[in-house]
Structure 1
Amino acid sequence: MGVVYTNRNRKKYIAIGGLVAIVVIVAVVLFFLLSGNNNESTLKNFYAQISEKKYEDMYNSLSSESQKSYDQQTFVERNQNIYEGIEASNFQIEVTDETDNELTYNVKMNTIAGEVTFENKTTIEDGKIVWDDSFIFPDLTQNDRVRVSEDEAIRGQILDRNGKMLAGQGEAYSVGLVRGKLNGENDYDQLAELLGLTKESIQKTMSASWIQDDSFVPLTTIPSTDTQLENQLLQIPGVQLNTVEVRTYPYGEVTSHLTGYMQQVTAEDLEKHQGEGYTETSMIGRSGIEAAYEKQLKGTNGATISIVDENGSTKSTVATQEKQDGQDITLTIDIDLQRDLYNAFDEDQSASVAMNPTNGEVLALVSTPSFDSNDFIYGFSTEEWDDLNNDEDQPLTNRFRATWVPGSTMKAITAAIGLETDSLDASKDFGAEMKWQKDSSWGDYFVTTLHAPNPNNLRNALIYSDNVYFAKAALEIGKDNLEKGYKSLMIGEDIPFELALTKSQYTSDSFDDEILIADSGYGQGQILMNPVQMTSIYSSFMNDGKMMTPHVVKSTETSVWAEPFSKETTDEIKSDLIQVVEDNNGTAHALNNSQYQLAAKTGTGEIKDSQDDTTGTELGWLSVASTDSSKPIVITTMVEDVKGRGGSNYVVNGVKQPLMSYLQK
């Protein structure tokens, strides 16, 4: 019996047949789409392996025919040398066409010579790359080489305000040996002694497999100015001196804490500054201006990537980047003043800051004792490095960055806060007392002073530097007004400056103790001051109450850091500080002269375990300013361990010559 089809069944089978056809069509489309995606994914994965430097994995991604043409070692070495030689990174691949498993695509990557882009083609067979040298660059063949030519940027100079070089290009000698000209073991002994190296290290260097008898083998670098060492070295057969360019610091120790120094990069530096043009042999700024302005000073090396044939002739240029020499950094420093202040205290542990009070320009920034930045260029022997680090005077310590007990230089600040908050009457006589305590609740603690003037008003208290007066004044001003004043002076805030400075500080909690409030009035409380900030505060006395933002890099822009005092307040303080110099009893009277009117305050910061401790040390301070508006300057100097050496008078006598020389220049 045959099957009878009704009209309804026929429609059903037609519908099923149509569904099957759609499924087949979709499957075919998906096959081709997925095939295309797989090819593109294969290509991009291959470039990802380049980025990750997985050269063996790259070789395993090649088609069998490609592997017959290139053995693994040859392939790995060639790709590694080229991609790492051009410093390839950040690959971006865009497939623009695919026909019969042949992909047309655009490549974009970063290189040592800048961004490189090109169009290329490759074929994918069974998920494998059909590879030849044109995959790297379309013009590259198996017999060609990729050449990288670098043009090193010249590092920018560091200059003083008058264009005198503080750091820049200089010449030195690369000391090396020509092995074939050596006489014998004695030459190694003599050379090691002259260069501060070990005989064993020289012999190890000279035993490298690449060295021929006529090869020049560099050992170290020495200053070209050391003619005695130069002559001694040239007496040794086989020694050769080649002139090389190096970073040089003409003023040595005078500016080293300011300019900083450079050192060869470390592995950590290379990782941190990846892609910024540093190599294993690069130098990098490690401290001071060299570090703070590394990016601007460094510049950008130029480079050219080219393809050359087996005869060394250039076939094509892949990319070229012109070098950009580093920027010169001009400082506000006056090198003559810098040198004079350094020489005045080079045997001491000190910090000196000179500033133009009208615009915040730092004219000198000195820390003694110091080191020589040039030594970091030429290198240290182990013994020299140990000596530098273990020196009890700590020449590597930057003292203008630190904070110190301010002593009596705080007295003018205490007075200004009192006047500004209307909590201190400048004419009030507090009564002359050599030894004082508020009441018996202070136990056996007394404030003492060396001089108790009569009348005991503000001006005389500043002239004679009376501790008792300012202890009483601090209590009269009160905790709240003192804290308000300290905050207005930005004490406890970060100091806006190109170089990192330790911020000044006071301990607010200590103000619950009346003794500490009293001690703070004359700079012996829980207060530590940075010399740069102290100079800024004293600058406000010469600038109608405005503290200008301190800066050491020259700029046409200036700004006000704070306005803690009115002109009325600063006029009073300035007038009193002038008398500290001009009055015969003034603690800074040694600065008095017939040419220039000066205003100053001395200070002695005591560092001891208790009031009765006689074994502690003393810091000597001086802040001095010229009142001549045509020659505005404030200098603050702090010297450690002045006990038994004249105290703050030692500092006064040291600053006098540098200040007068600057004013007379």
Structure 2
Amino acid sequence: MSRIVALLLLSFCVACSAVQPQPTPTAEPPPPPATATPRPVAPEDVATAFLNGWQQGSYDAMYDLLSADAQLQTTHDVFVRRYSNIHSGIGETKLVAQATGPSQPSATGVGVDVPFTVTRTLTLFGDVSENNTLPLVQDEGAWKVDWSPSLIFSGLSAVNTVRVTSDDAKRGRVLDRSGTPFADNGAIVSIGVVPANIKDDQALLSGLSDALGIPADQIKQRYQGGQPTWFMPIADRPESDRPDLEQKIGSIAGVALQDTPARVYPLGDVVAHVIGYVTHPTADELRQLSAQGYEESDWVGRTGIEATAEAQLAGSKGGAIQIVDQAGRVQRTVVQKAAVDGQDVKLTLDSRIQTEAVSALGDKTGSVVVMDPRDNSVLALVSRPSFDPNQFVVGLSDQQWQDLNGDAHPLQLRATESAYPTGSIFKVVTMAAGLEQGVTTPTETFDCGSDWTGLPGVTLHNWQAQGKLDLREALTESCNPAFYELGLRLDHADPNVLPTFARTFGLGAPTRIGGVHEVAGTVPDPAWKQQQVGEAWTSGDSVNLAIGQGYLLATPLQMANAYAALARGGSLMAPSIVSPTAVQSIGVLKLSDTTHAAILAGMQRVTSTPAGTAYYAFKDEKLPIAAKTGSAENENPDAHAWFVGFTPPQKPTLLVLVMVEGGQHGGTVAAPVARDLIDFASSLDR
């Protein structure tokens, strides 16, 4: 536009100079002043200016290039509004309009036509190109655009409109390993008011307020601005609430219940942390998500599989851009795209085992991990307390949101997002390090009395006096002095040996499970302590680490994965929760057959001999089980209770880990939960 204006202004100035008075002649007249012949503005230049203005959204500048007749037919406001509305309405993120050739005489015999191509980048449809011609006419000696709505879209007229339709894609389901839905597409109950049907305003407000727990003034605000015959939504509730709602408010004049399509979670809080939940996008989020085709009525995954598999689950919308006449009849389809439904996501979880794990853990706070060591698939991943993802779909009250963010942390997936001291279940790592480093043997005898005084001026305690035990028996009975001694010997050899062995078991790093969020935990070593605590490493740190205390922190999934590697004989693999997932090897324990056999021997006695720490929980158990219990001291008064075991010991097909926060004793609190699960899972046809 600026170039055109400059040329027109120059023409005006030259015309003015032509009527100036001639200078007075002199004896030697000066040469005549140079005169400039204005270069006529070519129609191609006007076309380029018009198309550039379109690209830049400069609708005012475009309107200035219209002929007088065109401006008479279409006012400035109508012109700008039509371009603006179509631009936003079709989801246009970019437009490129370019002339594709020189002007040609118009077929009408008046003016010229300049061919051009416009390519629009649309949120829903991608790039859409259209060829058209731009008519120009002479208007008071200048080329002007003979504009009509058909320059926006071919076939568009003053009385036709552009209609955009959108076809939603069906969101994919989240399924367990056998196809049982964890997340599905169903319906919720929308409770609303039809103002024209109200007979007793106070009775309606009182009844709805009591049934929904919403103040009466808020209910009235939600329906009083609507048309008399409109359904004015007040609240949503799960479909399971319908019978109760019909009984309480179904007979109140003016109240109406409608089914609304929505995301549903059939198992409620049983697998909530893994599956996650969806909500509608906020206005702020739509500023970014709209570029991906999302609208305010769409569902967006927030946590868990719903979030990490969003692209796969969401699919892609379809729709059309059409030109329709005043009766709504389609005159032209500019572009059309079929919706592509989202893909189902199948998990390795077994809904039967997951449900049983929740039941077995009961109201205890903690985690359960069940795995198949053969392929490292996760069969159950439980965290308690939990939440009902259906509540996010229907909407949370302020109090519900406060409760979810309270001290109990029900939104946290403890199995992967909480790291704890491991206590005695770490002792298999210490035993492996001691045997592989040659600082002990399986048959070495240790004095497992009440106290250990191996550090100068320090007395450390055993949980009970056990007498003389060899290393395998020390693991079975969880003798602290034996492992204090191993920690000290390893420290004298090299303070980094035990931390290094812990890392080979996968501790201190994410397990790479995928699908859910996880923390790395902490494996302390001399460099870590100096950097994080500002103090030098001591032998006491190695001794503490040897029994899974001190600065060591690990997630329940990390410990389950470490034991799964031990169960397989040394292959450390990433756990899988999404099926199918290729087996991913991430390390090797490098244990000798002697070391592996010694550890298994000690673990098998945990459940099979009276001295074993889980013997009474597994008394009369027919399945052979290799296990380890633990009680981990922490910042709270009560120790955390751990149990981990797998069966059968030589060729394991099932591994169960249970961690109960503040449970105190692994053998009496965590082990019974694990036995229930082992018996149940072993009875299934998997």
- Taking structure 1 as the reference length, the TM-score comes to 0.88
Q: Label 1:47 to 1:296 Cα distance change in 2 as closer, same or farther (>3 A).
A: same
Contact persistence 2:373–2:652 (CA under 8 A): no
C-alpha separation in 1, matches of 2:549 and 2:486: 14
**Equivalent residue number for residue 170 of structure 2:** 154
Please point out which of 60, 66, 77 is paired with 2:70.
66
C-alpha separation in 1, matches of 2:553 and 2:460: 20
* Mapped pair 1:572 → 2:598: yes
**Equivalent residue number for residue 75 of structure 1:** 79
SS at match of 1:459: helix
**Equivalent residue number for residue 114 of structure 2:** 103
What are the superposed Cα offsets for residues 588-641 of structure 1, whole Å, 9 maximum, x if unpaired?
A: 112244421111101111014xxxxxx723111111111267761111121111
Shift of 1:484: 2.3
AA of the residue aligned to 1:585: A
Moved more, 414-423 or 233-242: 414-423
Unaligned stretches of 5+ in structure 1? Answer: 1-23, 609-614
SS at match of 2:639: strand
**Equivalent residue number for residue 132 of structure 2:** 120
**Equivalent residue number for residue 398 of structure 1:** 413
Please point out which of 584, 604, 610 is paired with 1:584.
610
Q: Label 1:439 to 1:490 Cα distance change in 2 as closer, same or farther (>3 A).
A: closer
Moved more, 573-582 or 195-204: 195-204
SS at match of 1:380: coil
* Mapped pair 1:237 → 2:253: yes
Contact persistence 1:406–1:528 (CA under 8 A): yes
Q: Label 1:436 to 1:182 Cα distance change in 2 as closer, same or farther (>3 A).
A: same
Shift of 1:80: 3.2
C-alpha separation in 1, matches of 2:607 and 2:192: 60
Please point out which of 197, 216, 220 is paired with 1:199.
216
SS at match of 2:496: helix
Contact persistence 2:565–2:571 (CA under 8 A): yes
AA of the residue aligned to 1:466: C
Q: Label 1:631 to 1:159 Cα distance change in 2 as closer, same or farther (>3 A).
A: farther
Please point out which of 645, 655, 661 is paired with 1:640.
661
Q: Label 1:124 to 1:420 Cα distance change in 2 as closer, same or farther (>3 A).
A: farther
SS at match of 1:80: helix
Contact persistence 1:39–1:127 (CA under 8 A): no
SS at match of 1:306: strand
C-alpha separation in 1, matches of 2:265 and 2:521: 31
Q: Label 1:43 to 1:541 Cα distance change in 2 as closer, same or farther (>3 A).
A: same
SS at match of 1:324: coil
What are the superposed Cα offsets for residues 150-169 of structure 1, whole Å, 9 maximum, x if unpaired?
A: 21111000000011000011
* Mapped pair 1:91 → 2:95: yes
C-alpha separation in 1, matches of 2:602 and 2:291: 59
Shift of 1:219: 2.2
What are the superposed Cα offsets for residues 408-449 of structure 1, whole Å, 9 maximum, x if unpaired?
A: 110112112222333332221232331112243xx3x32211
**Equivalent residue number for residue 587 of structure 2:** 562
Contact persistence 1:541–1:571 (CA under 8 A): no
Shift of 1:62: 4.9
C-alpha separation in 1, matches of 2:667 and 2:620: 19
**Equivalent residue number for residue 630 of structure 2:** 603
For 1:308-327, list aligned pairs within 5 A: 308-327=324-343
C-alpha separation in 2, matches of 1:571 and 1:61: 89
Moved more, 151-160 or 242-251: 242-251
**Equivalent residue number for residue 379 of structure 1:** 395
What are the superposed Cα offsets for residues 438-489 of structure 1, whole Å, 9 maximum, x if unpaired?
A: 243xx3x322112343433211111111111111111222323213212322
What are the superposed Cα offsets for residues 269-309 of structure 1, whole Å, 9 maximum, x if unpaired?
A: 22333421111222210001100111110011110111111
For 1:521-536, list aligned pairs within 5 A: 521-536=546-561
The CA RMSD over aligned residues, in Å, is: 2.6
SS at match of 1:404: coil
C-alpha separation in 1, matches of 2:667 and 2:145: 81
Aligned length: 622
C-alpha separation in 1, matches of 2:100 and 2:150: 18
AA of the residue aligned to 1:216: F
C-alpha separation in 2, matches of 1:425 and 1:61: 94
Contact persistence 1:504–1:529 (CA under 8 A): yes
Shift of 1:72: 3.8
AA of the residue aligned to 2:629: T
Moved more, 523-532 or 412-421: 412-421
Please point out which of 140, 143, 161 is paired with 1:145.
161
Contact persistence 1:625–1:635 (CA under 8 A): yes
Q: Label 1:477 to 1:145 Cα distance change in 2 as closer, same or farther (>3 A).
A: same
AA of the residue aligned to 1:502: V
* Mapped pair 1:45 → 2:53: yes
Q: Label 1:496 to 1:233 Cα distance change in 2 as closer, same or farther (>3 A).
A: same
Moved more, 329-338 or 100-109: 100-109
Contact persistence 2:189–2:260 (CA under 8 A): yes
AA of the residue aligned to 1:588: A
* Mapped pair 1:222 → 2:237: yes
C-alpha separation in 1, matches of 2:480 and 2:136: 89
Moved more, 131-140 or 271-280: 271-280
Shift of 1:106: 1.1
Moved more, 154-163 or 474-483: 474-483
Shift of 1:59: 4.9
Moved more, 166-175 or 57-66: 57-66
* Mapped pair 1:540 → 2:565: yes
C-alpha separation in 2, matches of 1:563 and 1:95: 65
C-alpha separation in 2, matches of 1:217 and 1:150: 24
**Equivalent residue number for residue 503 of structure 1:** 520
AA of the residue aligned to 1:103: V
SS at match of 1:214: coil
C-alpha separation in 1, matches of 2:143 and 2:459: 91
AA of the residue aligned to 1:189: S
**Equivalent residue number for residue 642 of structure 2:** 621
Unaligned stretches of 5+ in structure 2? Answer: 1-34, 105-111, 530-535
C-alpha separation in 2, matches of 1:235 and 1:127: 72
Q: Label 1:154 to 1:57 Cα distance change in 2 as closer, same or farther (>3 A).
A: farther
Shift of 1:40: 1.9
SS at match of 2:502: helix
Contact persistence 1:406–1:603 (CA under 8 A): yes
AA of the residue aligned to 1:47: Q
C-alpha separation in 2, matches of 1:437 and 1:129: 98
C-alpha separation in 1, matches of 2:420 and 2:656: 16
Shift of 1:388: 3.1
C-alpha separation in 1, matches of 2:62 and 2:207: 53
C-alpha separation in 2, matches of 1:632 and 1:256: 26
**Equivalent residue number for residue 108 of structure 2:** none
Q: Label 1:198 to 1:104 Cα distance change in 2 as closer, same or farther (>3 A).
A: farther
**Equivalent residue number for residue 364 of structure 1:** 380
**Equivalent residue number for residue 305 of structure 1:** 321
**Equivalent residue number for residue 649 of structure 1:** 668
SS at match of 2:119: strand
- Taking structure 2 as the reference length, the TM-score comes to 0.85
SS at match of 1:506: coil
C-alpha separation in 2, matches of 1:84 and 1:229: 41
Contact persistence 2:273–2:304 (CA under 8 A): yes
Q: Label 1:629 to 1:247 Cα distance change in 2 as closer, same or farther (>3 A).
A: farther
AA of the residue aligned to 1:175: I
